[in-house]
Amino acid sequence: MEFITLNNGVKMPLEGFGVFRVPDPVQCEQAVADAISSGYRLIDTAAAYMNEAAVGAAIKKCDVPREELFITTKLWVQDASYEGAKKAIQVSLDNLGLDYLDLYLIHQPMGDYIGAYRAMEEAYKEGKIRAIGICNFSPARFVDFCETVEVKPAVNQVELHPFFQQENALATMKEYGTVPEAWAPFAEGKYGIFTNSILTDIGQKYGKSAAQVALRWNIQRGVVVIPKSVHKERIDQNIDIWDFTLTDDEMKQIAELDMGHSEIVNHDDVMFIKMLHGLRIHE
């Protein structure tokens, strides 16, 4: 495993394990246990995934020391305010059974996220969180955010895969020392990514799958990846990406796959924003 150093000196693994859409606690705990035994140390959950307790159970039972793990969770829209975030941080810590988080992210650029971030800055300064950041901030919103807050975000977790590469967003994050983290590094399985001929042809040369090539490509752009799987053999496969390097020509071939837009989410879609505001995770 390789690491990237965040803007506050904290070291973050370049690859982690995501648990979005794994609501069943038994399956989630098993998947996280499998991931940790495969060598993953970063686990990416969120209050809205409703599986923090299952992630916590796997952490508690594993034999890896807490300081070697890197646990991320996220603040949901419903709690996006100063008081809401103060409570939500403690609820997530309690759900996970932890006394500190490695990374805490604002899940969506919605609600009073500036107020929420103030509570996160306080928790960061108190040592309850080792690094703080955001998700889904488009370049203009990201710049506005960075120019407003005191503690610059360590990470911006956004959709990044071969079909939506967002080079402009990466350049803007670099300007502010923020590390990009890819959600949906496999485009959630869309566009035939696992059988795409450019990715499979490149993979053949190294004895790797299209999935492994897609992860490697993001890592070589300095992007942290958090692939999700509930299948042990895929969990193993997805972390077996540290023994090969894509050439500049192969990176350029993958660059050709960029569609320049997302077909997964649209933060300018009125119905999508209303839907997220309506998604309540507690009373």
Query: In 10 A of CB 37, how many CB atoms?
Result: 15
CB nearer to ligand NAP: give 49 or 124: 49
- Closer residue to ligand NAP (CB): 126 or 263: 263
**Three-state DSSP string of the chain:** CCEEECCCCCEEECEEEECCCCCCHHHHHHHHHHHHHHCCCEEECCHHHCCHHHHHHHHHHCCCCHHHCEEEEEECHHHCCHHHHHHHHHHHHHHHCCCCECEEEECCCCCCHHHHHHHHHHHHHCCCECCEEEECCCHHHHHHHHHHCCCCCCEEEEECECCECCHHHHHHHHHCCCEEEEECCCHHHHHHHHHCHHHHHHHHHHCCCHHHHHHHHHHHCCCEECCCCCCHHHHHHHHCCCCCCCCHHHHHHHHCCCCCCCCCCCCCCHHHHHHHHHCCCCC
The residue number whose beta carbon is nearest to ligand NAP equals 18
Which residues of the chain form contacts with ligand NAP (CB under 6 A)? 18-20, 44, 107, 135-136, 157, 183-189, 194, 211, 226-231, 234, 237-238
For the bound state, the minimum distance from the C-beta of residue 142 to ligand NAP, rounded and expressed in Å, comes to 14
| Strands 179-183 and 3-5, bridge-based pairing | unpaired
What is the nearest approach in angstroms of ligand NAP to the Cβ of residue 39? 15
Closest residue by Cα to residue 110 from 77, 83, 140, 143: 77
Look up 49 and say whether it is catalytic. yes
From the CB of 224, what's the least distance to ligand NAP, in Å?
A: 10
We find the least distance from the C-beta atom of residue 259 to ligand NAP, in angstroms, to be 15
Would you say 1 or 125 has its CB closer to ligand NAP? 1
Least distance to ligand NAP from the beta carbon of 248, Å? 25
Angle between helices 52-61 and 25-38 (to 10 degrees): 40
List 40, 49, 104, 117, catalytic entry: 49
132 or 226: CB nearest ligand NAP: 226
> Nearest approach, Cβ of 202 to ligand NAP (angstroms)?
15
Would you please indicate which residues are annotated as catalytic (active-site) residues? 49
